[in-house]
Amino acid sequence: MDFSIKTIDAKSTSSAYKAIKTACIIAGVFENKKLSAVAVNLDQQGQIVAALKSGDISGKAGSSLLLRNVGDVAAERVLLVGLGTEAKTVTEKSFQQAVQAAARNLAGLGANDAVLVLPAVEGRDVAWAIRTTVIAFRESIFRTDELKSKKDTSSSGVKKLAIAVNASDATVAKTALAQSIALANGMDLTKELGNLPPNVCTPTYLATTAKKIAADYGMATEILDRKQIQALKMGSFLSVSNGTVEPPKFIVLKHQGGKAKDAPVVLVGKGITFDSGGISLKPGAGMDEMKYDMGGAASVIGTMRAVGEMKLKLNVYAIIPTCENMPSGSATRPGDIVTSMSGQTIEVLNTDAEGRLILCDALTYAERFKPAAVVDVATLTGACVTSLGHHNSGLFTRHDDAHDKLAAELLAAGKQTGDTAWRMPIEEAYNEQLKSNFADMANIGGPAGGSITAACFLERFTKQYTWAHLDIAGTAWKSGAAKGSTGRPVPLLTTFLINRAA
């Protein structure tokens, strides 16, 4: 779908909206038979009021009604969408439900173009409204039928959507639109990678994808193979790949958008392209969803694509350790002790706690870039799903001024986009659970506070820089009838970086 900005000088004439020539204009109505200002402008002959009075549309958030040949309106159709209870401004949820309803309706219209004209949202600027609209419409047309011999049936629908804004907001709106499209493209890539089966989306496939992004957007890339990883003494990372024939890859991708000497923001993404649990084998039911255990890597790659398309004026590096976790005669066993790149030794008590074993070496590798901040992203623990469900990603950082500031930036970016996170504790008391009689630490701390002890494990490898950890086990994908990658937390990460660049 093509998006554009249409500027309206609404103060110059009362007929600004009814004069718009388009196949469909989208306007809001409220409960209690109230019209938005735009709907009033369109309703010169009372047809919209009549539709409300008749009960054809309730005005509840997400309700809709399509009208044709509305008198004195240049548009061929008027699509009314409900905005809920009338107020001075619209709530975020009501706006989101309205644009989702518009997207559903436009997907089935025999029209080529449409113009969306909805009122302001309480506490949100025009950039937020544009981003929300673009993501909703792109979500409505996203398909997961790439590997089907017969593609899913889809109607042609509207191909062009113009988002109407006041003329005074034109410059901000055009910038916001470009960023929103780049963000949506990054989310789509993340979803595509996540949804691919593990026999297609291997570590090598992720490396090839990173190379393509580097080529398309002028980034530098480095792909390390097993011998190079061995030379770096990443014994912890390699221990996870011991049981599989798929070669591991260590991906580094660099967007040099800032000044040469500026310290980069480093994103680290967990890339377990299939997680069987290894010798600590997972239950069979639902194991197919362990193809999503590379959700952190996919979201980092999607974010880098968005950053490249935006030409963001910030140095952003991505580090992606990627491999499979499989059982075999050569697989790492519970009780094995491995040596990480940092020199710290780890007793592997459970081979299904493998994400932290590949991330710790990547976090040590990040030291060489002298980063401004490091954010690792991982589908790390089922315990995080138990704690936060599927609404918030878990955010973990140390508790001091620098880390509190980083946490505040990430939380704010999440609130801006609706891709929310919730801060969880990291305290010395939890480290007691990681003690080992035979190594510097164990790789698990027991079931109590499992997401916290996992973060405490990672924290031991991040002493040289400001760091945050996002556990996205509950937010990276959906199960059941709606099974599929969500594209999260690309909106949070991308907005965090946009804010940093600004």
Catalytic residues: 282, 356
- d(CA 112, CA 109) in angstroms, rounded, equals 8
β-pairing verdict for 393-397 and 467-471? antiparallel
- d(CA 470, CA 299) in angstroms, rounded, equals 11
Cα torsion angle, 486, 487, 493, 497, sign: negative
- d(CA 120, CA 165) in angstroms, rounded, equals 10
Token representation of residue 37: 């200002």
337 class by beta-carbon count within 10 Å (0-12 exposed, 13-18 middle, 19+ buried):
middle
**How far from chain centre, in Å, is Cα 120?**
25
Q: Are 75 and 126 in contact (CB under 8 A)?
A: no
Token representation of residue 192: 């595509």
What per-residue string of b and e applies to 393-410 under the rule 16 or more CB within 10 Å gives b? bbbbbbeeeebeebbebb
Q: What is the largest CA-CA distance in the chain?
A: 83
DSSP 318-349: EEEEEEEE--STTSPPTT-EEE-TTS-EEE-S
- d(CA 100, CA 81) in angstroms, rounded, equals 9
Task: Give the ranges where 61-166 is alpha helix by DSSP (H).
Answer: 92-107, 126-141
Q: For 466, phi and psi rounded to 5 degrees? A: -80, 130
